[in-house]
Amino acid sequence: MVRCPKKTPRELLILALRWSVAAAALAATSMEAADFRASRDRMVREQIESRGVSDARVLAAMRKVPRHEFVPEQWADAAYEDHPLPIGHGQTISQPYVVALMTELLHLSPGAKILEVGTGSGYQAAILAEIAEEVYSVEIIEALAKESADRLQRLGYKNIHVKRGDGYLGWPEQAPFEAIIVTAGAEHVPPPLIEQLKRGGRMVIPVGEPHGEQSLLLVEKDIDGTVSTRNVAPVLFVPLTREPAK
Ligand code: SAH
């Protein structure tokens, strides 16, 4: 026979209090989650759809990924506003509209293997991973590479691979890629990235003077390997830095 020790009234009271604290915390968490969900829906409607992004898969990904998890805690309430935010180490997470626009320009197919240069917080990688098959992302700052890899693992993304390195050089072991996205401003399109782009593939990359305004370029490699470039919009990104020569 299992004997259940009888609880004293005081123990019962403590137990009841514990339960109500836990229930209140749970209710607060789900209210917070609902608030963030509403903010995300509004972000997509007012900042993204209204400016002409219409790819249903991109809009669904932007509605789903919890952007507030990718910014420092003190910025969580600003995560769904119409501007970039600091993520530490002098770097920023891009404005939501720019993330959506760049993703749409890639014309991702569900089976695509993608390269991202500039993991930062991991937010853009998560958006890509909602749509494509595998995402390979390179980040030059060690601490950011580690933080974003941990964050993406905690959020359950199994199809994102983060490595620390100089993304100017791409990720040759995983090439070719159907799509390449560079989320830091380069002075020119890195030749290794053109090399690693699959025929029929697309790359988006901001190019311009360091710390000046850049042009968002769409680079397309057609089936016979011819490369063409189109200027899409003026943008402002943190600079693509290079590893010091050894
Ligand atoms: N995509 C990110 C934002 C990127 S900010 C996000 O969604 O949060 C640009 C990032 O590019 C920074 O984290 C910066 O450290 C990184 N970076 C700059 N030069 C790089 C290089 N050569 N290789 C890889 N990452 C680079």
DSSP assignment of 204-230, as one string? EEEEESTTS-EEEEEEEE-TTS-EEEE
Query: Two tokens at 75?
Result: 């910025």
In a domain, residue 3? The reply is no
Cα separation of 241 and 167, whole Å?
9
Is 91 near ligand 1, meaning CB less than 6 Å away?
yes
Look at residue 58 in the predicted model and tell me its pLDDT: 98
160-164/134-139 β-pairing: parallel
Residue-level pLDDT, tens digit, the chain, 246 residues: 556 667 788 888 888 888 887 777 777 777 788 899 999 999 999 999 999 999 999 999 999 999 999 999 999 999 999 999 999 999 999 999 999 999 999 999 999 999 999 999 999 999 999 999 999 999 999 999 999 999 999 999 999 999 999 999 999 999 999 999 999 999 999 999 999 999 999 999 999 987 788 999 999 999 999 999 999 999 999 999 998 766
In a domain, residue 30? The reply is no
Cα separation of 99 and 229, whole Å?
20
Look at residue 2 in the predicted model and tell me its pLDDT: 58
Query: Two tokens at 204?
Result: 């988006």
Structural domain boundaries enclosing 82: 46-235
Look at residue 39 in the predicted model and tell me its pLDDT: 96
Positions marked catalytic = 94
Only one residue has tokens 């990104």, namely 237
In a domain, residue 116? The reply is yes
With both helix axes pointing from N to C terminus, report the angle between 9-43 and 56-64 in degrees, rounded to the nearest 10.
150
In a domain, residue 135? The reply is yes
In a domain, residue 169? The reply is yes
Look at residue 3 in the predicted model and tell me its pLDDT: 62
In a domain, residue 38? The reply is no
89 CA: nearest ligand 1 atom: 15
Specify the CATH number for the domain of residue 146.
3.40.50.150
What is the CA(145)–ligand 1 centre distance, in A? 9
In a domain, residue 213? The reply is yes
Is 136 near ligand 1, meaning CB less than 6 Å away?
no
118 CA: nearest ligand 1 atom: 11
Cα separation of 127 and 69, whole Å?
13
Look at residue 64 in the predicted model and tell me its pLDDT: 98
Look at residue 13 in the predicted model and tell me its pLDDT: 82
* Number of domains composing the chain: 1
Of the residues 91, 95, 121, 148, which should be mutated to test ligand 1's pocket, given the most ligand atoms within 8 Å of the CB? Answer: 91
Cα separation of 210 and 212, whole Å?
5
Is 126 near ligand 1, meaning CB less than 6 Å away?
no
In a domain, residue 241? The reply is no
Look at residue 101 in the predicted model and tell me its pLDDT: 98
What is the CA(120)–ligand 1 centre distance, in A? 5
Look at residue 1 in the predicted model and tell me its pLDDT: 55
